[in-house]
Structure 1
Amino acid sequence: MFNYLHQVVRFPVVSSQYSLKKKNIFVYLSSLGLLLLVINVIMGCNHQSSSIPIESSLLTVDTVEMVQQGIEKSRQGNYEAAVDDFNQVLAQNPQDINAYFNRGFAYSSLGQFEQALADFTKVLKLDPQMVQAYVNRGNVYLQLGEDEKAISDYEKALKINPNDAFAQNNLGLAHLNSGSPELAKIDFTQAVTIDPLYGEAYYNRGLALLDLGETKKAIADFQKAAEIWEEMGEQTASEAALAEINALKANN
Protein backbone atom coordinates (compact mmCIF):
# COMPACT_ATOMS: atom_id res chain seq x y z
CA MET A 1 0.00 0.00 0.00
CA PHE A 2 1.29 3.41 -0.94
CA ASN A 3 0.67 5.84 1.88
CA TYR A 4 0.89 9.58 1.62
CA LEU A 5 -0.76 12.82 2.53
CA HIS A 6 -2.62 14.54 -0.25
CA GLN A 7 -2.65 18.30 -0.35
CA VAL A 8 -5.18 20.16 -2.42
CA VAL A 9 -6.06 23.74 -2.92
CA ARG A 10 -9.57 24.34 -1.68
CA PHE A 11 -11.48 27.48 -2.35
CA PRO A 12 -14.74 27.65 -0.42
CA VAL A 13 -14.58 30.74 1.75
CA VAL A 14 -13.73 34.13 0.34
CA SER A 15 -15.30 37.52 0.34
CA SER A 16 -16.49 39.69 -2.50
CA GLN A 17 -13.02 41.28 -2.37
CA TYR A 18 -12.12 38.81 -5.09
CA SER A 19 -13.38 41.21 -7.73
CA LEU A 20 -10.91 43.81 -6.46
CA LYS A 21 -7.93 41.52 -5.93
CA LYS A 22 -8.25 38.80 -8.53
CA LYS A 23 -4.61 39.11 -9.56
CA ASN A 24 -3.48 37.89 -6.14
CA ILE A 25 -4.77 34.34 -5.95
CA PHE A 26 -3.52 33.89 -2.42
CA VAL A 27 -5.89 36.53 -1.13
CA TYR A 28 -8.70 34.09 -1.72
CA LEU A 29 -7.28 30.57 -1.60
CA SER A 30 -8.44 28.96 1.63
CA SER A 31 -9.88 25.93 3.34
CA LEU A 32 -12.83 27.03 5.40
CA GLY A 33 -11.03 30.35 5.73
CA LEU A 34 -8.10 28.80 7.58
CA LEU A 35 -5.64 26.86 5.46
CA LEU A 36 -4.15 27.21 2.02
CA LEU A 37 -2.84 23.67 1.58
CA VAL A 38 -4.85 21.07 3.43
CA ILE A 39 -4.30 17.49 4.46
CA ASN A 40 -7.05 15.46 2.89
CA VAL A 41 -6.66 11.78 3.71
CA ILE A 42 -4.12 9.00 3.70
CA MET A 43 -4.77 7.41 0.36
CA GLY A 44 -3.81 4.15 -1.29
CA CYS A 45 -3.03 3.33 -4.87
CA ASN A 46 -1.82 0.32 -6.80
CA HIS A 47 1.83 1.01 -6.25
CA GLN A 48 4.30 -1.15 -4.39
CA SER A 49 5.64 0.85 -1.48
CA SER A 50 9.38 1.27 -1.32
CA SER A 51 9.13 1.79 2.44
CA ILE A 52 10.69 -1.40 3.75
CA PRO A 53 12.78 -2.00 6.85
CA ILE A 54 16.44 -1.44 6.01
CA GLU A 55 19.24 -3.03 8.03
CA SER A 56 22.22 -0.81 8.80
CA SER A 57 25.24 -1.19 11.03
CA LEU A 58 24.84 2.47 11.99
CA LEU A 59 21.11 2.81 12.43
CA THR A 60 18.20 0.46 12.15
CA VAL A 61 14.64 1.74 11.98
CA ASP A 62 11.45 0.34 10.59
CA THR A 63 11.01 2.75 7.69
CA VAL A 64 7.36 1.82 7.20
CA GLU A 65 6.66 2.71 10.80
CA MET A 66 8.76 5.87 10.56
CA VAL A 67 6.90 7.08 7.46
CA GLN A 68 3.58 6.48 9.21
CA GLN A 69 4.87 8.33 12.26
CA GLY A 70 5.85 11.26 10.06
CA ILE A 71 2.45 11.27 8.39
CA GLU A 72 0.74 11.40 11.77
CA LYS A 73 2.92 14.32 12.86
CA SER A 74 2.02 16.17 9.67
CA ARG A 75 -1.66 15.54 10.32
CA GLN A 76 -1.16 17.11 13.75
CA GLY A 77 0.59 20.12 12.21
CA ASN A 78 4.00 19.19 13.60
CA TYR A 79 5.73 19.54 10.23
CA GLU A 80 9.29 20.06 11.45
CA ALA A 81 9.21 16.83 13.43
CA ALA A 82 7.66 15.10 10.41
CA VAL A 83 10.55 16.27 8.24
CA ASP A 84 12.97 14.78 10.76
CA ASP A 85 11.21 11.42 10.53
CA PHE A 86 11.28 11.42 6.74
CA ASN A 87 14.95 12.42 6.79
CA GLN A 88 15.72 9.34 8.89
CA VAL A 89 13.92 7.13 6.41
CA LEU A 90 15.74 8.63 3.44
CA ALA A 91 19.10 8.31 5.18
CA GLN A 92 18.58 4.56 5.04
CA ASN A 93 16.64 4.28 1.81
CA PRO A 94 17.26 7.15 -0.63
CA GLN A 95 14.69 5.67 -3.01
CA ASP A 96 11.75 5.76 -0.59
CA ILE A 97 9.03 7.47 -2.62
CA ASN A 98 6.65 7.69 0.35
CA ALA A 99 9.16 9.65 2.39
CA TYR A 100 9.91 12.07 -0.45
CA PHE A 101 6.23 12.71 -1.12
CA ASN A 102 5.30 13.30 2.49
CA ARG A 103 8.40 15.37 3.19
CA GLY A 104 7.42 17.52 0.21
CA PHE A 105 4.02 18.04 1.80
CA ALA A 106 5.61 18.98 5.14
CA TYR A 107 8.06 21.37 3.48
CA SER A 108 5.27 23.11 1.58
CA SER A 109 3.27 23.46 4.78
CA LEU A 110 6.32 25.09 6.38
CA GLY A 111 6.60 27.52 3.47
CA GLN A 112 9.86 25.91 2.32
CA PHE A 113 8.74 25.78 -1.27
CA GLU A 114 12.02 25.12 -3.04
CA GLN A 115 12.59 22.03 -0.88
CA ALA A 116 9.00 20.94 -1.55
CA LEU A 117 9.49 21.31 -5.29
CA ALA A 118 12.68 19.26 -5.10
CA ASP A 119 10.90 16.44 -3.26
CA PHE A 120 7.89 16.30 -5.57
CA THR A 121 10.24 16.38 -8.56
CA LYS A 122 12.18 13.46 -7.07
CA VAL A 123 8.92 11.56 -6.62
CA LEU A 124 8.11 12.07 -10.29
CA LYS A 125 11.53 10.78 -11.30
CA LEU A 126 10.83 7.64 -9.29
CA ASP A 127 7.25 7.37 -10.57
CA PRO A 128 6.38 9.56 -13.58
CA GLN A 129 2.77 8.38 -13.40
CA MET A 130 2.01 9.61 -9.88
CA VAL A 131 -0.90 11.99 -10.40
CA GLN A 132 -0.88 13.51 -6.91
CA ALA A 133 2.79 14.47 -7.14
CA TYR A 134 1.95 16.54 -10.22
CA VAL A 135 -1.04 18.07 -8.41
CA ASN A 136 0.98 18.91 -5.31
CA ARG A 137 3.89 20.33 -7.27
CA GLY A 138 1.37 22.36 -9.24
CA ASN A 139 -0.03 23.68 -5.95
CA VAL A 140 3.43 24.86 -4.92
CA TYR A 141 3.98 26.56 -8.28
CA LEU A 142 0.59 28.21 -7.86
CA GLN A 143 1.63 29.54 -4.47
CA LEU A 144 4.84 30.91 -5.98
CA GLY A 145 2.86 32.70 -8.69
CA GLU A 146 4.31 30.50 -11.44
CA ASP A 147 0.96 29.92 -13.09
CA GLU A 148 2.24 28.42 -16.34
CA LYS A 149 4.25 25.77 -14.51
CA ALA A 150 1.22 25.01 -12.35
CA ILE A 151 -0.95 24.67 -15.44
CA SER A 152 1.57 22.30 -16.99
CA ASP A 153 1.60 20.05 -13.93
CA TYR A 154 -2.18 19.94 -13.62
CA GLU A 155 -2.46 19.11 -17.32
CA LYS A 156 0.06 16.28 -16.90
CA ALA A 157 -1.96 14.94 -13.97
CA LEU A 158 -5.14 15.03 -16.04
CA LYS A 159 -3.47 13.32 -18.97
CA ILE A 160 -2.76 10.40 -16.64
CA ASN A 161 -6.14 10.53 -14.93
CA PRO A 162 -8.77 12.61 -16.75
CA ASN A 163 -11.23 11.94 -13.94
CA ASP A 164 -9.28 13.71 -11.20
CA ALA A 165 -11.69 16.44 -10.10
CA PHE A 166 -9.12 18.00 -7.75
CA ALA A 167 -6.61 18.46 -10.56
CA GLN A 168 -9.32 19.83 -12.84
CA ASN A 169 -10.42 22.34 -10.20
CA ASN A 170 -6.87 23.46 -9.52
CA LEU A 171 -6.21 23.84 -13.23
CA GLY A 172 -9.18 26.17 -13.25
CA LEU A 173 -7.66 28.17 -10.39
CA ALA A 174 -4.42 28.54 -12.30
CA HIS A 175 -6.24 29.66 -15.43
CA LEU A 176 -8.34 32.08 -13.38
CA ASN A 177 -5.25 33.55 -11.76
CA SER A 178 -3.47 33.90 -15.10
CA GLY A 179 -6.32 35.97 -16.52
CA SER A 180 -8.14 33.30 -18.53
CA PRO A 181 -11.63 33.08 -16.98
CA GLU A 182 -13.10 31.40 -20.07
CA LEU A 183 -10.64 28.51 -19.75
CA ALA A 184 -11.23 28.44 -16.00
CA LYS A 185 -14.98 28.16 -16.59
CA ILE A 186 -14.39 25.12 -18.81
CA ASP A 187 -12.14 23.54 -16.16
CA PHE A 188 -14.61 24.05 -13.32
CA THR A 189 -17.44 22.73 -15.48
CA GLN A 190 -15.41 19.59 -16.12
CA ALA A 191 -14.70 19.28 -12.38
CA VAL A 192 -18.41 19.31 -11.47
CA THR A 193 -19.12 16.89 -14.31
CA ILE A 194 -16.65 14.48 -12.72
CA ASP A 195 -17.93 15.18 -9.22
CA PRO A 196 -21.43 16.74 -9.13
CA LEU A 197 -21.09 17.36 -5.38
CA TYR A 198 -17.85 19.33 -5.64
CA GLY A 199 -18.89 22.53 -3.89
CA GLU A 200 -15.54 24.29 -4.37
CA ALA A 201 -15.71 23.85 -8.14
CA TYR A 202 -19.19 25.39 -8.30
CA TYR A 203 -18.00 28.27 -6.16
CA ASN A 204 -14.90 28.76 -8.30
CA ARG A 205 -16.93 28.63 -11.49
CA GLY A 206 -19.08 31.36 -9.99
CA LEU A 207 -15.97 33.53 -9.68
CA ALA A 208 -15.00 32.82 -13.28
CA LEU A 209 -18.52 33.73 -14.39
CA LEU A 210 -18.26 37.02 -12.53
CA ASP A 211 -15.12 37.81 -14.50
CA LEU A 212 -17.05 37.05 -17.67
CA GLY A 213 -19.92 39.33 -16.66
CA GLU A 214 -22.39 36.45 -16.26
CA THR A 215 -23.73 37.52 -12.88
CA LYS A 216 -26.98 35.50 -12.89
CA LYS A 217 -25.14 32.30 -13.68
CA ALA A 218 -22.55 33.12 -11.02
CA ILE A 219 -25.29 33.51 -8.42
CA ALA A 220 -26.73 30.15 -9.44
CA ASP A 221 -23.32 28.52 -8.91
CA PHE A 222 -22.83 30.17 -5.53
CA GLN A 223 -26.30 28.93 -4.56
CA LYS A 224 -25.44 25.40 -5.68
CA ALA A 225 -22.20 25.49 -3.68
CA ALA A 226 -24.08 26.74 -0.61
CA GLU A 227 -26.62 23.92 -0.89
CA ILE A 228 -23.92 21.26 -1.25
CA TRP A 229 -21.97 22.57 1.72
CA GLU A 230 -25.11 22.86 3.82
CA GLU A 231 -25.93 19.23 3.08
CA MET A 232 -22.38 18.21 4.00
CA GLY A 233 -22.50 20.13 7.26
CA GLU A 234 -19.91 22.69 6.16
CA GLN A 235 -21.87 25.57 7.58
CA THR A 236 -19.12 28.19 7.41
CA ALA A 237 -18.53 27.54 3.73
CA SER A 238 -22.24 27.59 2.98
CA GLU A 239 -22.69 30.91 4.75
CA ALA A 240 -19.79 32.41 2.81
CA ALA A 241 -21.37 31.42 -0.50
CA LEU A 242 -24.68 32.93 0.55
CA ALA A 243 -22.89 36.10 1.65
CA GLU A 244 -21.39 36.34 -1.84
CA ILE A 245 -24.87 36.11 -3.32
CA ASN A 246 -26.21 38.80 -1.00
CA ALA A 247 -23.31 41.10 -1.84
CA LEU A 248 -23.94 40.68 -5.57
CA LYS A 249 -27.64 41.34 -5.21
CA ALA A 250 -26.98 44.41 -3.10
CA ASN A 251 -24.73 45.85 -5.79
CA ASN A 252 -27.23 45.29 -8.60
Structure 2
Amino acid sequence: MGWRFRRSISLGKGVRINVSKSGIGFSVGKRGARIGVGPRGVYTSFGIPGTGLYTINYLNKKKKQVSSSPNTQINNVSITYPPEILKKMPSKAPQYLLFIASFILLFTYTPLGILGFIIFAFYFYALSKKPISKAVSFFEKGKVAYNRGDYKSALDNFLKVIEIEPDAISLYKEIGIIYIHLGEDEKANECFEKYLFKYPEDLEAKTRYINLLIKVGQYQKALELMNSLPEEYKNSLHVINAMADCYIELNKPDMALAVLEKGPMRKRKTDTEEMKIFRYLLGTVYMKLGQKEKALKQFQKIYVEDSNFLDVAEILNEMEG
Protein backbone atom coordinates (compact mmCIF):
# COMPACT_ATOMS: atom_id res chain seq x y z
CA MET A 1 0.00 0.00 0.00
CA GLY A 2 1.47 3.41 -1.03
CA TRP A 3 1.87 6.21 1.49
CA ARG A 4 -0.14 9.38 0.98
CA PHE A 5 0.50 12.84 2.38
CA ARG A 6 -1.95 15.70 2.70
CA ARG A 7 -1.97 18.80 4.86
CA SER A 8 -4.33 21.77 4.90
CA ILE A 9 -3.18 25.17 6.21
CA SER A 10 -5.79 27.80 7.03
CA LEU A 11 -5.01 31.41 6.12
CA GLY A 12 -8.25 32.72 7.60
CA LYS A 13 -11.43 34.02 5.97
CA GLY A 14 -12.09 30.58 4.49
CA VAL A 15 -8.83 30.50 2.51
CA ARG A 16 -6.70 27.34 2.73
CA ILE A 17 -3.46 26.05 1.24
CA ASN A 18 -3.62 22.33 0.53
CA VAL A 19 -0.32 20.46 0.35
CA SER A 20 -0.25 16.89 -0.91
CA LYS A 21 2.04 14.42 -2.63
CA SER A 22 0.74 15.52 -6.06
CA GLY A 23 1.32 19.24 -5.49
CA ILE A 24 0.07 22.45 -3.90
CA GLY A 25 -3.42 23.90 -4.23
CA PHE A 26 -5.57 26.70 -2.90
CA SER A 27 -9.22 26.72 -1.92
CA VAL A 28 -11.76 29.21 -0.61
CA GLY A 29 -15.19 28.82 0.92
CA LYS A 30 -16.92 27.60 4.03
CA ARG A 31 -17.37 24.24 5.64
CA GLY A 32 -19.31 22.00 3.27
CA ALA A 33 -18.81 24.13 0.16
CA ARG A 34 -15.46 25.14 -1.30
CA ILE A 35 -13.88 26.02 -4.61
CA GLY A 36 -10.22 25.67 -5.38
CA VAL A 37 -7.43 24.96 -7.78
CA GLY A 38 -4.93 22.15 -7.55
CA PRO A 39 -2.63 19.99 -9.68
CA ARG A 40 -5.66 18.56 -11.52
CA GLY A 41 -7.30 21.93 -12.21
CA VAL A 42 -10.17 24.01 -10.85
CA TYR A 43 -12.75 22.17 -8.75
CA THR A 44 -15.77 22.64 -6.55
CA SER A 45 -16.31 20.58 -3.43
CA PHE A 46 -19.60 20.02 -1.65
CA GLY A 47 -20.25 17.87 1.39
CA ILE A 48 -22.31 17.27 4.51
CA PRO A 49 -20.31 18.38 7.56
CA GLY A 50 -19.64 15.63 10.07
CA THR A 51 -20.65 12.76 7.77
CA GLY A 52 -17.52 12.35 5.68
CA LEU A 53 -19.67 12.48 2.54
CA TYR A 54 -18.55 14.90 -0.17
CA THR A 55 -18.29 15.27 -3.93
CA ILE A 56 -15.65 16.96 -6.09
CA ASN A 57 -16.32 18.29 -9.59
CA TYR A 58 -13.43 19.46 -11.80
CA LEU A 59 -14.56 22.41 -13.93
CA ASN A 60 -11.95 22.10 -16.65
CA LYS A 61 -12.09 18.35 -17.12
CA LYS A 62 -11.80 17.51 -20.81
CA LYS A 63 -14.37 15.33 -22.51
CA LYS A 64 -13.36 12.42 -24.68
CA GLN A 65 -13.75 13.02 -28.38
CA VAL A 66 -15.06 10.44 -30.76
CA SER A 67 -13.16 10.22 -34.02
CA SER A 68 -15.17 10.54 -37.18
CA SER A 69 -15.62 7.77 -39.76
CA PRO A 70 -13.62 7.85 -43.02
CA ASN A 71 -16.95 7.80 -44.86
CA THR A 72 -18.23 11.04 -43.27
CA GLN A 73 -20.15 13.17 -45.73
CA ILE A 74 -19.27 16.80 -46.39
CA ASN A 75 -22.31 18.10 -44.51
CA ASN A 76 -21.53 16.05 -41.40
CA VAL A 77 -18.33 17.81 -40.42
CA SER A 78 -17.63 18.20 -36.73
CA ILE A 79 -15.31 21.19 -36.43
CA THR A 80 -13.03 21.07 -33.41
CA TYR A 81 -10.21 23.32 -32.26
CA PRO A 82 -7.01 22.83 -34.27
CA PRO A 83 -4.50 21.06 -31.99
CA GLU A 84 -1.89 23.68 -32.90
CA ILE A 85 -4.11 26.34 -31.32
CA LEU A 86 -5.12 24.21 -28.35
CA LYS A 87 -1.48 23.90 -27.35
CA LYS A 88 -1.14 27.68 -27.17
CA MET A 89 -4.41 28.44 -25.43
CA PRO A 90 -3.81 29.65 -21.86
CA SER A 91 -5.34 27.65 -19.05
CA LYS A 92 -8.67 28.94 -17.80
CA ALA A 93 -8.01 27.68 -14.29
CA PRO A 94 -6.50 30.97 -13.00
CA GLN A 95 -9.45 32.90 -14.45
CA TYR A 96 -11.97 30.63 -12.76
CA LEU A 97 -10.20 30.75 -9.44
CA LEU A 98 -9.62 34.51 -9.47
CA PHE A 99 -13.22 35.27 -10.36
CA ILE A 100 -14.77 32.92 -7.82
CA ALA A 101 -12.31 33.89 -5.10
CA SER A 102 -13.07 37.56 -5.73
CA PHE A 103 -16.78 36.85 -5.59
CA ILE A 104 -16.49 35.06 -2.26
CA LEU A 105 -14.15 37.69 -0.81
CA LEU A 106 -16.62 40.38 -1.84
CA PHE A 107 -18.86 39.12 0.98
CA THR A 108 -16.16 38.14 3.48
CA TYR A 109 -13.58 40.90 2.96
CA THR A 110 -15.00 43.48 0.54
CA PRO A 111 -11.86 45.55 -0.24
CA LEU A 112 -9.92 42.44 -1.19
CA GLY A 113 -12.85 41.20 -3.26
CA ILE A 114 -13.02 44.48 -5.20
CA LEU A 115 -9.28 44.35 -5.77
CA GLY A 116 -9.66 40.81 -7.05
CA PHE A 117 -12.28 41.87 -9.60
CA ILE A 118 -10.06 44.74 -10.77
CA ILE A 119 -7.16 42.34 -11.25
CA PHE A 120 -9.49 39.92 -13.03
CA ALA A 121 -10.65 42.67 -15.42
CA PHE A 122 -7.09 43.68 -16.29
CA TYR A 123 -6.06 40.05 -16.69
CA PHE A 124 -9.01 39.31 -18.97
CA TYR A 125 -8.33 42.44 -21.05
CA ALA A 126 -4.64 41.61 -21.45
CA LEU A 127 -5.51 38.05 -22.42
CA SER A 128 -8.00 39.19 -25.07
CA LYS A 129 -5.28 41.23 -26.78
CA LYS A 130 -2.99 38.26 -27.30
CA PRO A 131 -2.80 36.86 -30.87
CA ILE A 132 -3.91 33.42 -29.75
CA SER A 133 -7.06 34.90 -28.20
CA LYS A 134 -7.86 36.69 -31.44
CA ALA A 135 -7.31 33.46 -33.36
CA VAL A 136 -9.68 31.63 -31.01
CA SER A 137 -12.28 34.37 -31.47
CA PHE A 138 -12.11 34.15 -35.27
CA PHE A 139 -12.27 30.36 -35.07
CA GLU A 140 -15.42 30.47 -32.95
CA LYS A 141 -17.05 32.92 -35.38
CA GLY A 142 -16.08 30.70 -38.30
CA LYS A 143 -17.48 27.62 -36.60
CA VAL A 144 -20.81 29.33 -35.92
CA ALA A 145 -20.98 30.60 -39.50
CA TYR A 146 -20.23 27.14 -40.89
CA ASN A 147 -22.91 25.48 -38.77
CA ARG A 148 -25.54 27.89 -40.07
CA GLY A 149 -24.41 27.36 -43.68
CA ASP A 150 -22.74 30.74 -44.17
CA TYR A 151 -19.65 29.31 -45.85
CA LYS A 152 -18.21 32.61 -47.08
CA SER A 153 -18.23 34.06 -43.58
CA ALA A 154 -16.78 30.83 -42.20
CA LEU A 155 -14.03 30.95 -44.80
CA ASP A 156 -13.16 34.57 -44.02
CA ASN A 157 -12.85 33.83 -40.32
CA PHE A 158 -10.84 30.63 -40.75
CA LEU A 159 -8.43 32.40 -43.11
CA LYS A 160 -7.92 35.06 -40.43
CA VAL A 161 -7.03 32.28 -38.00
CA ILE A 162 -4.40 31.03 -40.45
CA GLU A 163 -3.11 34.58 -40.87
CA ILE A 164 -2.59 34.90 -37.11
CA GLU A 165 -1.45 31.31 -36.54
CA PRO A 166 0.19 30.07 -39.79
CA ASP A 167 1.11 26.76 -38.17
CA ALA A 168 -2.56 25.80 -37.66
CA ILE A 169 -2.26 23.36 -40.57
CA SER A 170 -5.09 21.12 -39.33
CA LEU A 171 -7.57 23.89 -40.14
CA TYR A 172 -6.83 23.50 -43.84
CA LYS A 173 -9.08 20.42 -43.93
CA GLU A 174 -12.10 22.48 -42.88
CA ILE A 175 -11.10 25.27 -45.26
CA GLY A 176 -10.82 22.73 -48.07
CA ILE A 177 -14.31 21.41 -47.33
CA ILE A 178 -15.66 24.96 -47.38
CA TYR A 179 -14.06 25.56 -50.78
CA ILE A 180 -15.83 22.43 -52.04
CA HIS A 181 -19.12 23.88 -50.81
CA LEU A 182 -18.31 27.11 -52.65
CA GLY A 183 -17.40 25.25 -55.85
CA GLU A 184 -13.75 26.36 -55.77
CA ASP A 185 -12.20 22.96 -56.38
CA GLU A 186 -8.68 24.12 -57.19
CA LYS A 187 -8.38 26.01 -53.90
CA ALA A 188 -9.85 23.03 -52.08
CA ASN A 189 -7.21 20.90 -53.78
CA GLU A 190 -4.42 23.12 -52.45
CA CYS A 191 -5.83 23.01 -48.92
CA PHE A 192 -6.02 19.22 -48.82
CA GLU A 193 -2.47 19.00 -50.13
CA LYS A 194 -1.21 21.18 -47.29
CA TYR A 195 -3.22 19.29 -44.72
CA LEU A 196 -2.27 15.79 -45.86
CA PHE A 197 1.40 16.72 -46.07
CA LYS A 198 1.33 17.04 -42.27
CA TYR A 199 -1.45 14.53 -41.53
CA PRO A 200 -1.02 11.77 -44.15
CA GLU A 201 -2.78 9.15 -42.02
CA ASP A 202 -6.15 10.94 -41.97
CA LEU A 203 -8.24 8.55 -44.09
CA GLU A 204 -11.31 10.77 -44.04
CA ALA A 205 -9.38 13.72 -45.48
CA LYS A 206 -7.62 11.45 -47.95
CA THR A 207 -10.97 10.09 -49.16
CA ARG A 208 -12.32 13.60 -49.68
CA TYR A 209 -9.15 14.55 -51.53
CA ILE A 210 -9.35 11.50 -53.80
CA ASN A 211 -12.95 12.31 -54.73
CA LEU A 212 -11.92 15.89 -55.43
CA LEU A 213 -9.00 14.83 -57.63
CA ILE A 214 -11.27 12.60 -59.68
CA LYS A 215 -13.77 15.43 -60.00
CA VAL A 216 -11.14 17.83 -61.40
CA GLY A 217 -9.62 15.18 -63.68
CA GLN A 218 -6.36 14.51 -61.85
CA TYR A 219 -6.70 10.76 -62.27
CA GLN A 220 -3.06 9.77 -61.93
CA LYS A 221 -2.71 11.62 -58.64
CA ALA A 222 -5.95 10.07 -57.40
CA LEU A 223 -4.59 6.61 -58.26
CA GLU A 224 -1.39 7.28 -56.34
CA LEU A 225 -3.38 8.21 -53.27
CA MET A 226 -5.70 5.21 -53.58
CA ASN A 227 -2.72 2.90 -53.85
CA SER A 228 -1.47 4.31 -50.55
CA LEU A 229 -4.67 3.34 -48.74
CA PRO A 230 -4.66 0.37 -46.33
CA GLU A 231 -5.50 -2.95 -47.97
CA GLU A 232 -8.94 -3.21 -46.35
CA TYR A 233 -9.89 0.09 -48.00
CA LYS A 234 -8.29 -0.70 -51.34
CA ASN A 235 -10.30 -3.92 -51.55
CA SER A 236 -13.63 -2.17 -50.96
CA LEU A 237 -15.93 -1.99 -53.97
CA HIS A 238 -16.09 1.80 -53.81
CA VAL A 239 -12.31 2.14 -54.17
CA ILE A 240 -12.12 -0.60 -56.82
CA ASN A 241 -14.69 1.27 -58.90
CA ALA A 242 -12.88 4.57 -58.43
CA MET A 243 -9.53 3.10 -59.46
CA ALA A 244 -11.02 1.40 -62.51
CA ASP A 245 -12.73 4.63 -63.53
CA CYS A 246 -9.42 6.48 -63.31
CA TYR A 247 -7.66 3.90 -65.48
CA ILE A 248 -10.46 4.10 -68.04
CA GLU A 249 -10.14 7.89 -68.15
CA LEU A 250 -6.38 7.47 -68.64
CA ASN A 251 -7.14 5.08 -71.53
CA LYS A 252 -5.65 2.07 -69.76
CA PRO A 253 -8.44 -0.53 -70.04
CA ASP A 254 -6.11 -3.43 -69.30
CA MET A 255 -5.15 -1.86 -65.96
CA ALA A 256 -8.81 -1.13 -65.24
CA LEU A 257 -9.68 -4.78 -65.88
CA ALA A 258 -6.92 -5.95 -63.56
CA VAL A 259 -8.42 -3.82 -60.79
CA LEU A 260 -12.01 -4.88 -61.48
CA GLU A 261 -11.04 -8.55 -61.38
CA LYS A 262 -10.37 -8.05 -57.67
CA GLY A 263 -14.04 -7.21 -57.22
CA PRO A 264 -17.16 -9.40 -57.04
CA MET A 265 -16.89 -10.79 -60.58
CA ARG A 266 -18.98 -13.86 -59.74
CA LYS A 267 -21.75 -12.10 -57.90
CA ARG A 268 -25.04 -12.69 -59.68
CA LYS A 269 -27.19 -9.94 -58.21
CA THR A 270 -26.84 -6.31 -59.21
CA ASP A 271 -28.79 -5.07 -56.23
CA THR A 272 -26.75 -2.07 -55.09
CA GLU A 273 -25.63 1.17 -56.70
CA GLU A 274 -21.99 0.18 -56.32
CA MET A 275 -22.63 -3.13 -58.09
CA LYS A 276 -24.34 -1.33 -60.96
CA ILE A 277 -21.33 0.96 -61.29
CA PHE A 278 -19.02 -2.05 -61.08
CA ARG A 279 -20.81 -3.84 -63.93
CA TYR A 280 -21.01 -0.64 -65.97
CA LEU A 281 -17.26 -0.12 -65.67
CA LEU A 282 -16.63 -3.78 -66.43
CA GLY A 283 -18.82 -3.57 -69.52
CA THR A 284 -17.04 -0.41 -70.64
CA VAL A 285 -13.64 -2.07 -70.24
CA TYR A 286 -14.71 -5.15 -72.19
CA MET A 287 -15.93 -2.89 -75.00
CA LYS A 288 -12.61 -1.05 -75.11
CA LEU A 289 -10.79 -4.38 -75.22
CA GLY A 290 -13.01 -5.60 -78.06
CA GLN A 291 -14.77 -8.27 -75.98
CA LYS A 292 -18.30 -7.41 -77.11
CA GLU A 293 -20.12 -10.48 -75.76
CA LYS A 294 -18.73 -10.04 -72.26
CA ALA A 295 -19.60 -6.37 -72.36
CA LEU A 296 -23.15 -7.15 -73.50
CA LYS A 297 -23.72 -9.49 -70.55
CA GLN A 298 -22.68 -6.85 -68.04
CA PHE A 299 -24.97 -4.18 -69.49
CA GLN A 300 -27.86 -6.65 -69.70
CA LYS A 301 -27.50 -7.53 -66.02
CA ILE A 302 -27.73 -3.85 -65.15
CA TYR A 303 -30.73 -3.32 -67.40
CA VAL A 304 -32.68 -6.13 -65.73
CA GLU A 305 -32.31 -4.42 -62.36
CA ASP A 306 -32.49 -0.79 -63.48
CA SER A 307 -33.41 0.05 -67.07
CA ASN A 308 -32.81 3.76 -66.42
CA PHE A 309 -29.28 3.44 -65.09
CA LEU A 310 -27.05 5.97 -66.86
CA ASP A 311 -27.02 5.30 -70.64
CA VAL A 312 -27.31 1.51 -70.41
CA ALA A 313 -30.49 1.40 -72.53
CA GLU A 314 -28.81 3.36 -75.34
CA ILE A 315 -25.71 1.17 -75.22
CA LEU A 316 -27.80 -1.99 -75.46
CA ASN A 317 -29.78 -0.58 -78.40
CA GLU A 318 -26.56 0.07 -80.27
CA MET A 319 -24.99 -3.28 -79.37
CA GLU A 320 -28.09 -5.37 -80.07
CA GLY A 321 -29.25 -3.36 -83.05
For the superposition of Structure 1 and Structure 2, which TM-score range results when normalised by the shorter chain? Answer: 0.5 to 0.7
Q: 1:4 touches 1:102 (CA, 8 Å); kept in 2?
A: no
Which has more radius of gyration?
Answer: 2
| Contact 1:70 1:86 (8 Å CA) reproduced | no
Match of 2:291 in 1: 214
Task: Give the Cα separation in 1 of the matches to 2:303 and 2:144.
Answer: 36
CA distance in 2, matches of 1:64, 1:165: 39
Q: 2:277 aligns with which of 200, 220, 229?
A: 200
Cα deviation digits, residues 191-235 of structure 1 (max 9, x gap):
557x9831323322222222122333334333444566x5xxxxx
Q: Is the 8 A contact 1:5 1:43 kept in 2?
A: no
> Which residue in 2 is equivalent to 1:239?
308
Q: 1:139 & 1:219 partners in 2: Cα distance?
A: 29
Alpha-carbon distance in 1 for matches of 2:296, 2:144: 43
1:77-116 correspondence to structure 2 within 5 Å: 79-84=151-156, 86-87=158-159, 90=162, 94-95=167-168, 97=170, 99-116=171-188
Aligned equivalent of 2:242? 170
1:58 aligned partner, one-letter code: K
Instruction: Give the TM-score of the pair, scaled to structure 2.
Output: 0.48
The structural deviation recorded for 1:185 is: 2.4
Cα contact 1:52–1:62 (8 A) shared by 2: no
Give the partner amino acid of 2:315: A
Q: Which runs of 5+ in 1 are unaligned?
A: 8-38, 231-237
- Select the structure that is richer in strand: 2
Alpha-carbon offset, residue 66 of structure 1:
4.5
**2:283–2:299 contact (8 Å) kept in structure 1:** yes
1:151 to 194, 212, 223: 223
1:179 to 221, 244, 251: 251
Match of 2:146 among 70, 73, 78: 70
Counterparts of 2:187 and 2:217 in 1: how far apart (Å)? 16
The correspondence of residues 21-100 of structure 1 with structure 2, limited to 5 A, is 42=76, 50=83, 56-58=132-134, 60-61=136-137, 63=139, 66-67=142-143, 70=146, 73=149, 79-84=151-156, 86-87=158-159, 90=162, 94-95=167-168, 97=170, 99-100=171-172
- The offset of 1:135, in angstroms, is 3.5
Deviation at 1:178, TM superposition (A): 0.8
**C-alpha distance 153-190 of structure 1, shift in aligned 2 (>3 A):** same
Q: Do the aligned partners of residues 161 and 52 (structure 1) sit closer, same or farther apart at CA in structure 2, a change above 3 Å counting?
A: farther
Q: Which runs of 5+ in 2 are unaligned?
A: 1-65, 91-131
**Distance (Å, rounded) in 2 between the aligned partners of 1:164 and 1:92:** 41
> Whose relative contact order is higher, 1 or 2, with alpha carbons under 8 Å and at least 6 apart?
1
Q: Return closer, same or farther for 1:81/1:248 CA change in 2, 3 Å cut-off.
A: farther
Q: CA RMSD in A?
A: 4.2
- CA displacement, residues 225-248 of structure 1 (integer Å, 9 cap, x when unaligned): 4566x5xxxxxxx5134x524532
Conserved 8 A contact 2:303-2:313: no
Letter in 2 for 1:185: L
With the length of structure 1 as denominator, give the TM-score of the two structures.
Answer: 0.59
Q: Distance in 2 between matches of 1:169 and 1:71?
A: 33
In 2, Cα distance between the equivalents of 1:166 and 1:71? 29
